[in-house]
Every structure is written in C-alpha cells, then in structure tokens.
C-alpha cells in the first residue's frame, strides 16, 4: 500500500516541518516541567535542555560545564561564518544543513586527509591528534567540536597553552573510558578559553551536535 500525503506535508523544504516542530516544542515543555528549578541562566538552559532532549538523560544537567561568556562567544563566531572543526564525520553528518546555511558555516573534519594518516603512522599518535596539530592557526576564531577523540582534545588544550592558539569556542565532549574524563578536566581548567564540556565519561558526537545546534538557534534568535 502506498501512503499519500497532502502536498503541504510532503514537502522537504528547509527547517522542521510543522508536525516535527510541535513534537520538539512538546518535548522541551516536558523537560522544563520535569526539571523544575535548575539554576541555569536562560541562555545556558537552552544549551542544556537541547542536550537533555537529544539524550533523554537529565543527568547531563549535573555534568555539563559552560565557561563564562562561552555561549555568547560561540554564537557570535557562528554569526560571523566561523568554520566548525570536528573530530568525526558523525558530527558533520548530524549538523542540519539548513541551520548551517543561516550563516554559511563550513564544517571541516581534518582527520579525513590522507596526509594525516601518514603523519600519525610515522609519529605514533592518533590520526585525529595529528590532524588537529596540523591545523595550527587555522583554528583561531573557529568553533572546535570534539565528540569522540580525547587525544585530539588533549592536543587542542596543549596548543592553546603552548602555542597561543585561540579558538572562539571549544566544545569538548568526548565519550569513553581512556583519557576522555582527563581531557575534559584539562579543558575545563584552562583559563581565558571559552569552553563547553561534560565532566565524566559521558559525551559523544551527538552531544557535540546538540550543543552546536543550540548555539546556531541562539545566534539566529539574537538572544
């Protein structure tokens, strides 16, 4: 049997269709009601709530850390068409193209380069670490989103500390058991670097995507 839909609901235009938007709004309403008093400033809650919406896990409200001014700096950079450097293709695949089109943000996955594979093999480091090390000053003013590679996050922390690399925002939320928690702790201890992280073992590319989406929405709304 072939299902037929009215033309107005069979469109694949940009953004959420009406039915999807209603579901998202209802989900946010439920999260607000179940969370109750949370203590987050309004713009921070927009980020935290979207992470909870993505995961169905209220524990993220206890784990997420947002440095002073991080959301404002991230939204401002996105509005200026800053590039988003991601450690995985999953982040690029997860970011909604219609949201990226709002400000013309390009998503770059440095580890895709074959050159990084050769460098990693010769130096004995991970491919993502080698990839971000090779980016150098290209990272200045960018949004960095790390959801899977703690070694890359450690390298970014080192580059900020030792080489004065200055991303607009580092979203460091790698998931896992080896170096993930330590890399996020190191990011959170950095001074004068806007950052958003999730302490502990939890995290992942979907969390990084949720955070970037929330920042794009905030940038577009001007809040």
How far is residue 97's CA from residue 79's CA, in Å, rounded to a whole number?
A: 15
Cβ atoms < 10 Å from Cβ of 67: 19
Exposure b/e, 156-176, CB count within 10 A at least 16 = b: bbebbeeeebebbbbbbbbbe
Pair 168, 82: CB distance under 8 Å: yes
| Three-class secondary structure assignment of 36-72 | CCCCCCHHHHHHHHHHHHHHCCCCHHHHEEECCCHHH
> Is the Cβ–Cβ distance between 150 and 176 less than 8 Å?
yes
Residue 38 designated active-site: no
Cα-based distances in Å from 99 to 39, 94, 108, 131, 172:
28, 11, 16, 26, 21
The residues, any chain, with a CB within 8 Å of residue 71's CB and separated by 6 or more, are: 43, 44, 47, 196, 215, 218
The one catalytic residue in 38, 53, 154, 213 is: 53
Contact at 8 Å (CB) between 157 and 129?
Answer: no
Catalytic residues: 53
């Amino acid at each position: 049997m072939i299902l037929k839909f009215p033309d107005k609901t069979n469109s694949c235009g940009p953004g959420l269709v009406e039915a999807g938007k209603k579901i998202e709004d209802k989900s946010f309403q439920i999260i607000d009601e179940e969370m109750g008093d949370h203590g987050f400033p309004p713009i921070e809650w927009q980020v935290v709530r979207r992470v909870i919406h993505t995961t169905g896990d209220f524990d993220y409200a206890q784990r997420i850390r947002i440095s002073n001014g991080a959301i404002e700096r991230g939204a401002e950079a996105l509005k200026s068409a800053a590039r988003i450097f991601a450690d995985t293709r999953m982040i690029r695949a997860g970011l909604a193209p219609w949201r990226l089109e709002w400000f013309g943000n390009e998503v770059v996955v440095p580890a895709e380069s074959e050159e990084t594979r050769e460098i990693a093999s010769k130096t004995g480091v991970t491919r993502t670490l080698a990839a971000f090390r090779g980016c150098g000053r290209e990272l200045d003013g960018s949004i960095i989103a790390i959801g899977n590679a703690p070694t890359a996050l450690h390298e970014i922390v080192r580059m900020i500390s030792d080489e004065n690399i200055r991303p607009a925002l580092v979203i460091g939320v790698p998931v896992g058991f080896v170096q993930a928690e330590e890399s996020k702790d190191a990011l959170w201890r950095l001074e004068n670097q806007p950052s958003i992280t999730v302490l502990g073992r939890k995290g992942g590319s979907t969390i990084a995507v949720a955070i970037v989406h929330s920042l794009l929405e905030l940038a577009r709304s001007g809040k």
